[in-house]
Structure 1
Amino acid sequence: MENSRNFVLVLTLSLAVLIGWQWAMDHFYPQPDDVPVTAEKVDTPAEAAAVAHTRTGGLQDPAALAQEEADLATALASPERLVIDSPKIAGSINLQGAFLDDVVLKDYAASTDADDDEPVRIFSPRGTPAQQYSQFGFLLNGQKVSDDAVWTATGDRLSPGNPVTLTHDAGNGIGLQLTYSIDDQYMLTVEQTIANRSGDAIVAQPFGLVGRTSDTASEDFFIAHSGPMGVFGDAANYDYDYDDIDDAKKVTPEGAPSWFGFTDIYWLAAMVPQDGTAPDATFRALGGNTYRADMIYDTVRVEKGMKHTTTSRLYAGAKESTVLDSYEDAGLEKFGLAIDWGWFRWFEKPFLWLLKNIFGLVGNFGVAIIILTIIVRGLMFPIAQKQFASMAAMKAIQPKMKKLQERYKDDRVRQQQEMQKLFKEEQVNPLAGCLPLILQIPIFFALYKVLYLAIEMRHQNFLWIEDLSAPDPATILNLFGLLPFTPPSFLAIGVLAVLLGVTMWLTFKLNPSAMDPVQQQVFSIMPWVLMFIMAPFAAGLLLYWVTSNVLTLAQQKYLYSKHPQLKAAAEKEKAEKAAEAAKAKQ
């Protein structure tokens, strides 16, 4: 059982490091000095306050939430707005400056409150506490068209199959057009046209930008990137977070951009340049916890009487794996990697597909998680059987191994030779017990990551839990929800966290492996330490771990019944070590 014990220890320590990192993710975003901006001048607060971020993001401060509500009511009341209405998103474009700054997602509720039918808002106007917006426009002879300019719309509603053109007379015979169209998912297409009716040639630069505040950002966790990202050259780039942009003031990733912008764990705002172009792609810190991604095309010379059109795209929506993959299949390079799948995505995507299909059959996401865990553990059971059989074989020949170790204790080379000869004669592979463990690591980590990243788990209920993507609300200190208050996160030990501690303690208790006193102490307290560590995690993850622990208990009892000599040998070794420890103590 030495390999099994080491495996559990490694996983436990890795998990402790993982959670410890998450606890340290409350960032202080320092105020960078103002930097010159080519495409836009933005007024920002003088100082940026420290902001606490949650796993799913969004404003947390009550004062900021109240200010956001008031600012939205004022900004969206303006008559100078073009309505956006598609199957997935709704919102509007501000005709003053041609800012796309109002986007809500129809399929996702902002809260689990049944009386609150407000959809998730991902774009808010500039200057609001939750600001995120996009703009497409032009630099004319090096100067940006004024953000105060009011554009004229050819229609009153942008919807699939119903594009709308915004026009603006820039003076001196220069006409500008922005033709917006939208599909039935989350992608907008913008044709930027400049018509030169003046008497001289002009120099123009089309550009696009996405601006936002980091106050609403989700936590940037090592398995779920939050912040600037994109595909540059032929690789997805998750290298920069908001602190990096603050430090550098301006970051330009290497390689031609296929798409880039800002991501949260569930939402994405990304620009896609025209095919065959390589515009300048830059992330900037603007101060006051605000940032911008700039996409600036090369300058073009537009002769008199001529036009020039550039076609760009903007994705503003949810990170649904099937939707992202559909755009990738249509030619948008590595767009599916907007979800930070990591190294094990070849395992993770099939798990997500299976999870969604099980959910479609049973109609409850919690039940789907339990069934998926059972299926995965069932598929891994033959590997566990092989591991136990290998350990049983190793236990059976341990007396012979000890004799060889004693006989050749002064000749390590001969000892290894005789050991290899013994393994061959007994047909035992000493590595056979390790290989199954190595195979299980990517599978179980992939399953863990799917449950962490899957937007499908958001706002799904199970028994007393209203949202499996949030921590268990039924905590001990508020009598599992009976008392009307929420305890501090480090004391919020819920039902699932308690079950996790109990089932892990039973797992260690059932394991008869011999351990020295220090190991015994570590393994005796580890379940309760993990109970506290795992409590702030999403309830869906805890449900997976509890189910997995219960299956481990059942699996261990069954396999020990099939290999009684393994348990007997371990118990004997355990007793011998206890006797040795008692003797040493005397």
Structure 2
Amino acid sequence: MDNQRNLLLAVVLCGLLLLGWDAGTRYFYPEPAPAARVEGAAIPNDQVGTGADGGAAPTRTREGGLTDPVAIAEEKKDLVTSLASPSRVRIDAPEIAGSINLVGARIDDITLKTHRQAVDKDSGPVRLFSPQGTPAQQFAQFGWVGEGVAVPDATTLWQADGTVLTQAKPVTLSWDNGQGQLFRIKLSIDAQYMITADQSVSNTGAGPVVVRPFATVNRTSATASADTWNVQSGPIGAFGDSVDFGTDYDDLAETGKVTPEGRTGWIGFTDIYWLSALIPQDGSNPAADFRSLGNNIFRADVIYQPVTVPAGKVFSRSTRLFAGAKESDVLDGYQDAGITKFGFAIDWGWFRWFEKPIFWLLSSLFGLVGNFGLAIILLTVIIRGAMFPIAQKQFKSMASMKAIQPKMKALQERYKDDKQKQQQEIMALYKTEGVNPLAGCLPLLLQIPVFFALYKVLILSIEMRHQPFILWIKDLSAPDPAMILNLFGLLPFTPPAFLGIGVLAVLLGITMWMTFKLNPTAMDPMQQQIFNIMPWILMFVMAPFAAGLLVYWVTSNILTLAQQSYLYSKHPQLRAQANKDKEDAALVATRGGKKKP
């Protein structure tokens, strides 16, 4: 009766786990509330604007982007109007396409040539920047704050000395205030995602002027990717000796302004795969902060110190803008070139020392076989192969423990009334027999950071995005699309996340169940029931995860089965004990949970 009650309790708890998984995630990681209005302090709002009324923050997806059909339609319509303006300079670089708005000198139109919006090859490139006022607004602006001098603002129409910005040909924007000051912004772009803005002021007036250059990135959180416990989405930057992952859009909306401590290496906003960041001039010490402008609009500021420009002199300041994909080798290359901790824009986490080598190996395998799914399988084989000596040591320890079980039971019976003496004799037995009772636990502890590191690599790697595997798996970074409840896509509906069981999730449950069956049976009936149910619970829990993760886990389970079969053949006493445990468990079950002597 007790066993039936325990089993019922286990089933109820597992059901609550399944049904509460999504609700719990939303509770601990809620969507941002509408932001309160906060005025900018150093840069006038007429310089950068706040965009249209964004309303409440929409549901965010893993990759980010607009999700509301009305907003998506409005974005397409607005882009047609905004980008048709003749007051634009086209951008045509190896990785970036788009345009610069000469009204306000805004870089507000950027698409990424080598990254598609969706798996379909005709889905079009990823759009990173959109003009102010569009539902997906995100843009960068360079300007000045002046003291007693006319400076350009958000409505200023600049003049350009070229029609296209390319890697080989920079473009210079200029504006004369009619009072003796000529403002210029020279824009250049490299072969990847970096734009350099050289801001200069030529003072031909009768007296000195005081100016303060600034650079900003302005964006809506409506297109932000989901912010989770292990992946940062929102404000980010290198300040002092570290990269700040501690602020999200909720925090910024609540406080209105966040000024990080330490010298600014770079500052901006991140999604899981994309980054827009400002890199101040080397040797400068600008003020840098994040601001909430209301209506789900946020801004990252770099504001240089005021400078007096004497008559007849020229003052210039250089700021770089990164707007692109978080490709590890690209970020590391910029870091090697002098940008502080730029490679840490990818939220590797605590185990980055494991993750970076694993990522390198995964990328190398992909380059070798040309299929990311096969690369994941090969990587799993290599890791499990490297771990095999540890597993072998673990089995050897288990065998040694099994061998001294009769002697341990004799000591426990002899000193059952003197626990201290019993423990001393058991420790002496371990020493005499050369057995380390912790040897079986240590290998498991060593594997935890390695496997968690592989998990982080698979969910963070943009190289896995839109990579196909076989047959129906067209995107390893997305969940398995072949869901059983909608008959593998034949029925026109998408099951809830916790019921979206696909083929890979079923394989995960089956292979895990087989590994549990191969292990020695737990004598406690309650434990045995939990072991029987757990593979199917994990099947539901893991179903919404990226297909690449499930490919890894299924492969790992298959290798575990092979490994355990081999090690059991090398240690027959463990196989014999496992069979005896199963027979005893079956006998206990038939006798109502009581084993007779």
State the TM bucket, normalised to the shorter chain: over 0.9
Q: In the alignment, does 2:516 pair up with 1:508?
A: yes
Q: Indicate how the Cα distance of structure 1 residues 102 and 47 shifts in structure 2: closer, same or farther if over 3 A, else same.
A: closer
Amino acid at match of 1:506: M
Q: In the alignment, does 2:32 pair up with 1:35?
A: no
Give the match's secondary structure for 2:212.
strand
Q: CA deviation at 1:101?
A: 0.5
Give the match's secondary structure for 1:550.
helix
Task: For 1:426-575, list aligned pairs within 5 A.
Answer: 426-463=433-470, 464-573=472-581, 575=583
Q: In the alignment, does 2:377 pair up with 1:373?
A: no
Amino acid at match of 1:491: L
Q: CA deviation at 1:93?
A: 0.7
Q: Indicate how the Cα distance of structure 1 residues 384 and 21 shifts in structure 2: closer, same or farther if over 3 A, else same.
A: farther
Give the match's secondary structure for 2:445.
helix
Write out per-residue CA displacement over residues 27-53 of structure 1, whole angstroms, 9 at most, x where no aligned residue.
142231333343242244556224111
Q: CA deviation at 1:261?
A: 0.4
Q: CA deviation at 1:344?
A: 1.4
1:185 to 181, 192, 199: 192
- How many angstroms apart in 1 are the aligned matches of 2:321 and 2:334? 12
| Unpaired segments ≥5 residues, structure 2 | 1-13
| Greater CA drift, 280-289 or 516-525 | 516-525
Report what 1:350 is aligned to. 357
Write out per-residue CA displacement over residues 176-205 of structure 1, whole angstroms, 9 at most, x where no aligned residue.
111111110111111111122222222111
Q: In the alignment, does 2:139 pair up with 1:133?
A: yes
TM-score (normalizing by structure 1) = 0.93
Report what 1:202 is aligned to. 209
Write out per-residue CA displacement over residues 299-341 of structure 1, whole angstroms, 9 at most, x where no aligned residue.
1111222221111111111101001111111111111101011
Q: In the alignment, does 2:438 pair up with 1:424?
A: no
- Assess if the C-alpha contact under 8 Å between 2:98 and 2:110 holds in 1: yes
- How many angstroms apart in 2 are the aligned matches of 1:318 and 1:518? 49
- How many angstroms apart in 2 are the aligned matches of 1:490 and 1:421? 51
- Assess if the C-alpha contact under 8 Å between 1:324 and 1:335 holds in 2: yes
- How many angstroms apart in 2 are the aligned matches of 1:106 and 1:44? 26
- Assess if the C-alpha contact under 8 Å between 1:285 and 1:291 holds in 2: yes
- Assess if the C-alpha contact under 8 Å between 1:26 and 1:51 holds in 2: no
- How many angstroms apart in 2 are the aligned matches of 1:399 and 1:131? 73
| Greater CA drift, 489-498 or 461-470 | 489-498
RMSD: 2.2
Task: For 1:270-309, list aligned pairs within 5 A.
Answer: 270-309=277-316
- How many angstroms apart in 2 are the aligned matches of 1:196 and 1:411? 93
Give the match's secondary structure for 1:316.
strand
- Assess if the C-alpha contact under 8 Å between 1:19 and 1:533 holds in 2: no
| Greater CA drift, 385-394 or 563-572 | 563-572
Give the match's secondary structure for 1:357.
helix
- How many angstroms apart in 2 are the aligned matches of 1:328 and 1:28? 32
| Greater CA drift, 528-537 or 85-94 | 528-537
- How many angstroms apart in 1 are the aligned matches of 2:452 and 2:50? 44
| Greater CA drift, 347-356 or 564-573 | 564-573
Task: For 1:217-256, list aligned pairs within 5 A.
Answer: 217-256=224-263
- How many angstroms apart in 1 are the aligned matches of 2:53 and 2:72? 20
Q: Indicate how the Cα distance of structure 1 residues 550 and 315 shifts in structure 2: closer, same or farther if over 3 A, else same.
A: same
- Assess if the C-alpha contact under 8 Å between 2:22 and 2:498 holds in 1: no
Report what 1:7 is aligned to. none
- Assess if the C-alpha contact under 8 Å between 1:474 and 1:495 holds in 2: yes
Task: For 1:56-205, list aligned pairs within 5 A.
Answer: 56-116=63-123, 118-141=124-147, 145-205=152-212
Q: CA deviation at 1:354?
A: 1.4
Amino acid at match of 2:234: G
| Greater CA drift, 154-163 or 437-446 | 154-163
Report what 2:5 is aligned to. none
Q: Indicate how the Cα distance of structure 1 residues 318 and 215 shifts in structure 2: closer, same or farther if over 3 A, else same.
A: same
Q: In the alignment, does 2:366 pair up with 1:359?
A: yes
Task: For 1:308-327, list aligned pairs within 5 A.
Answer: 308-327=315-334
Give the match's secondary structure for 1:343.
coil
Q: CA deviation at 1:412?
A: 3.6
Write out per-residue CA displacement over residues 129-181 of structure 1, whole angstroms, 9 at most, x where no aligned residue.
11111011110118863200011111111111311111111231111111111
Q: In the alignment, does 2:265 pair up with 1:263?
A: no
Q: CA deviation at 1:273?
A: 0.5
Give the match's secondary structure for 1:140.
strand
Q: CA deviation at 1:18?
A: 9.4
Q: Indicate how the Cα distance of structure 1 residues 37 and 171 shifts in structure 2: closer, same or farther if over 3 A, else same.
A: farther
- Assess if the C-alpha contact under 8 Å between 1:29 and 1:48 holds in 2: no
Q: In the alignment, does 2:390 pair up with 1:383?
A: yes
Write out per-residue CA displacement over residues 352-380 of structure 1, whole angstroms, 9 at most, x where no aligned residue.
11112211221111111111111111111
| Greater CA drift, 470-479 or 31-40 | 31-40
| Unpaired segments ≥5 residues, structure 1 | 1-11
- Assess if the C-alpha contact under 8 Å between 2:40 and 2:291 holds in 1: no
Q: CA deviation at 1:584?
A: 5.9
Amino acid at match of 2:145: L
TM-score (normalizing by structure 2) = 0.91
